């Protein structure tokens, strides 16, 4: 099977490429080698030489089309990353993440008879503060809001209930209410929903993976 990984020269993408190669698949990566992530515009030395690297932007329809030629499956990792930075580069994050996702999906849809599966990387950031329990009342599955600014200014990092009880973190269920609290998180939530909806519409098996 030939697999396209968008953002395939990044940290997660390159490790996935290694695993796919080990399992006998052929791997192509589409990456813009963003200077924020990569120290140079040259091929990263850690990227396995057997990975076919195409340098391009996921918003570039021609680049995405070329990357999809002969591909059997797609893993979409390409995204502008960084929670804090997304709050003051709103236009760039929205452009790269939303438009890039849309272009990939449209080009995948054109080739739906050839592509067996698509996978998208979601993010734990879509859940906000995560899931907590109240050790006093025994209540579980609590979805707290953001910690107040005055609390953070006092350098008190605990998540608290309305009565001040320190809540205890617990594993976050995928059924937890989504509370994205940044432009980045909103984009990753949208990635997930766009891929799942498009997958159903075009009868392409689609799934998500939660990353950081």
Rounded to whole angstroms, the Cα distance separating 115 from 108 reads: 7
Looking at domain 2-124+178-211, its CATH class is alpha beta
Give the pLDDT of residue 166: 95
**What are the angstrom distances between the C-alpha of 138 and each of 21, 98, 131, 189?**
47, 40, 14, 30
Question: What is the sign, positive or negative, of the torsion defined by CA atoms of 100, 106, 108, 110?
Answer: negative
Record the pTM. 0.88
Rounded to whole angstroms, the Cα distance separating 208 from 29 reads: 19
Q: Model confidence over 110-160: pLDDT tens digits?
A: 999 999 999 998 888 888 888 999 999 999 988 888 888 899 999 999 999
The rounded mean pLDDT for the chain is 92
Q: Model confidence over 150-206: pLDDT tens digits?
A: 999 999 999 999 889 999 999 988 888 888 899 999 999 998 999 999 999 999 999
CA-wise closest residue to 105 among 30, 193, 198: 198
Give the pLDDT of residue 8: 95
Percent of the chain scoring above 90 in pLDDT: 71
In the beta sheet, which residues pair with residue 168? 133
Give the pLDDT of residue 211: 62
38 or 202: whose pLDDT is higher? 202
Q: Model confidence over 84-97: pLDDT tens digits?
A: 899 999 999 999 99
Q: Where are the domains of the chain?
A: 2-124+178-211, 129-177
């Amino acid at each position: 099977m030939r697999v396209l990984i968008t953002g395939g020269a990044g940290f997660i993408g390159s490790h996935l490429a290694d695993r796919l190669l080990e399992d006998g698949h052929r791997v192509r990566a589409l990456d813009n080698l963003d200077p924020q992530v990569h120290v140079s515009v040259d091929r990263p030395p850690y990227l396995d030489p057997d990975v076919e690297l195409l340098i391009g932007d996921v918003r570039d329809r021609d680049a995405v089309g070329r990357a999809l030629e002969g591909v059997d499956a797609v893993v979409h990792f390409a995204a502008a990353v960084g929670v804090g930075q997304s709050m003051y580069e709103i236009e760039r994050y929205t452009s790269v993440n939303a438009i890039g996702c849309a272009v990939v999906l449209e080009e995948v849809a054109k080739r739906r008879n050839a592509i067996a599966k698509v996978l998208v990387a979601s993010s734990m950031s879509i859940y906000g503060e995560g899931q907590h329990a109240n050790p006093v009342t025994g209540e579980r599955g609590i979805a707290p809001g953001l910690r107040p600014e005055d609390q953070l200014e006092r350098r008190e990092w605990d998540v608290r209930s309305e009565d001040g009880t320190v809540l205890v973190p617990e594993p976050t269920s995928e059924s937890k209410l989504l509370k994205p609290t940044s432009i980045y998180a909103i984009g990753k939530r949208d990635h997930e929903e766009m891929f799942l909806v498009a997958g159903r519409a075009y009868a392409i098996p689609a799934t998500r993976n939660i990353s950081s």
